[in-house]
Chain A
Amino acid sequence: MIKNFIKNAGWPRIIIGLFLLALFITAPFVGVNVFTSFNNTIVRFGMNGVMVLAMIPMVQAGCGLNFGLPLGIIAGLLGATLSIELNTEILAKLAELGIRYKISWLTREFLTAYREPAGFASAILIAIPIAAVLGWLYGKLLNRVKGDEMMIATYVGFSSVSFMCIAWLLLPYKHPTMVWGYAGRGLRTTISVEGYWLHILNDWLSLNFQDKIEIGGKILDVNLSIPTGMLIFFAVMAFIVWIFMRTKTGTAMTAVGSNPEFARASGVNVDKMRTISVMMSTILGAIGIIVYEQSFGFIQLYMGPFYMALPAVASILLGGASVNKATILNVVVGTFLFQGILTMTPTVFNSVFQTDMSEVIRLIVSNGMILYALTRKVRA
Chain B
Amino acid sequence: MVRKFFDIIANNAVPAVFILISAFAIPLSGFSASYLVQELLTRIGRNSFLILSLLIPIMAGMGLNFGMVLGAMAGQIGLLFICDWGIVGIPGMVLACLIGTPIAIILGIFCGHILNRAKGREMVTSYILGFFINGVYQMTVLYLMGWIIPITNPNLLLSRGYGVRNAVSLSGIRAVLDNLIPTVITNPEGAKQFLNVNGAGSFFLIQLPFFDGTIRIPLATFIIIALFCVFIVWFRKTKLGQDMRAIGQSQSVADSAGIPVNRTRIIAIVISTVLACYGQIIYLQNMGTLNTYNSHDQAGMFSIAALLIGGASVSKASITNVFVGVILFHLMFIVAPMAGKNLIGEAQIGEYFRVFVSYGIIAIALVLHAWKRNREREAARRSLRGGNGGKA
Contacts and interface: CB of A to CB of B under 8 A. Distances in A.
Q: Do chains A and B touch in the complex (CB under 8 A)?
A: yes
Given A155-B359, A158-B363, A371-B129, 6 more contacts: A144-B371, A145-B367, A145-B370, A158-B362, A163-B360, A355-B160
A32 interface: no
A9 to B, nearest CB: 22
Given A145-B371, A145-B374, A166 B139 contact: no
A202 B358 CA distance: 39
Interface in B278-303: none
A363 interface: yes
Interface string A134-159: 00000001001111101110111011
B128 A370 contact: yes
Contacts of B348: 169
B382 interface: no
B131 interface: yes
B42 interface: no
A355 B135 contact: no
B199 to A, nearest CB: 47
Contacts of B132: 363-364, 367-368, 370-371
A162 B123 contact: no
Taking chain B's interface residues, is the majority helix, strand, or loop, or is none over half, making it mixed? helix
Contacts of A375: 114, 117-118, 125
A144 B363 CA distance: 13
Interface string A354-368: 010101111110011
Contacts of B189: none
B366 interface: yes
Chain B, interface residues (CB within 8 Å), range? 35 or more
A359 B356 contact: no
Contacts of A158: 359, 362-363
A357 B123 CA distance: 28
Given A166-B352, A355-B143, A367-B131, A374 B138 contact: no
Contacts of B367: 141, 144-145, 152
B118 A374 contact: yes
A162 B360 contact: yes
B127 interface: yes
Contact of A144 (B143, B356, B374): B374
Nearest to A167: B352
B156 interface: no
A133 to B, nearest CB: 19
Contacts of B360: 155, 159, 162-163
A205 interface: no
A16 interface: no
Contacts of B125: 371, 374-375
Contact of A371 (B114, B363, B370): B114
A147 B120 contact: yes
Interface string A338-380: 0000000000000000010101111110011011001101000
Contact of A166 (B124, B349, B363, B371): B349
B138 A147 contact: no
B346 interface: yes
B95 to A, nearest CB: 28
A161 B360 CA distance: 10
Contact of B370 (A152, A360, A377): A152
A170 interface: yes
B13 interface: no
Contacts of A201: none
Interface string B135-178: 11011001100000000000000001000000000000000000
B139 A360 contact: yes
B211 interface: no
Contacts of A148: 123, 366, 369-370, 373
Contacts, number: 119
B18 interface: no
B192 interface: no
A370 B138 CA distance: 18
B342 interface: no
Interface of B: 114, 117-118, 120-121, 123-125, 127-129, 131-132, 134-136, 138-139, 142-143, 160, 344, 346, 348-349, 352-353, 355-356, 358-360, 362-363, 366-367, 369-371, 373-374
Nearest to A364: B135
B365 to A, nearest CB: 9
Contacts of A154: 124, 127
Contact of A165 (B120, B344, B356, B371): B356
Bin the interface of chain A by size.
Answer: 35 or more
A159 B363 contact: yes
Given A151-B123, A166-B356, A367 B366 contact: no
A360 B349 contact: no
With most chain A CB atoms within 10 A of its CB, the pick from B127, B128, B348, B349 is: B128
Contact of A363 (B114, B138, B346, B366): B138
A147 B131 CA distance: 22
Contacts of B366: 145, 148, 151-152, 155
Contacts of B135: 360-364, 367-368
A56 interface: no
Contacts of A161: 359
A331 interface: no
Contacts of B142: 360
A148 B134 CA distance: 24
User: 5 shortest A-B CB distances, which residue pairs?
Assistant: A363-B135, A145-B370, A155-B363, A364-B135, A367-B132
A300 to B, nearest CB: 16
Contacts of B120: 147
A361 B363 CA distance: 29
A144 B373 CA distance: 10
Contacts of A152: 363, 366-367, 370
A233 B312 CA distance: 48
Contact of B131 (A146, A165, A166, A363): A363
A197 B295 CA distance: 39
Contacts of A162: 352, 355-356, 358-360
Nearest to B344: A170
A67 B127 CA distance: 12
Nearest to B66: A151
Nearest to B134: A363
B127 A371 contact: no
A316 to B, nearest CB: 15
A150 B363 contact: no
A146 B374 contact: yes
Nearest to B114: A375
Contact of A360 (B118, B138, B358, B359): B138
Given A156-B363, A159-B360, A364 B136 contact: yes
B231 to A, nearest CB: 29
A287 B39 CA distance: 45
B349 A170 contact: yes
B134 A169 contact: no
A131 interface: no
Nearest to B363: A155
A159 B128 contact: no
A230 B389 CA distance: 61
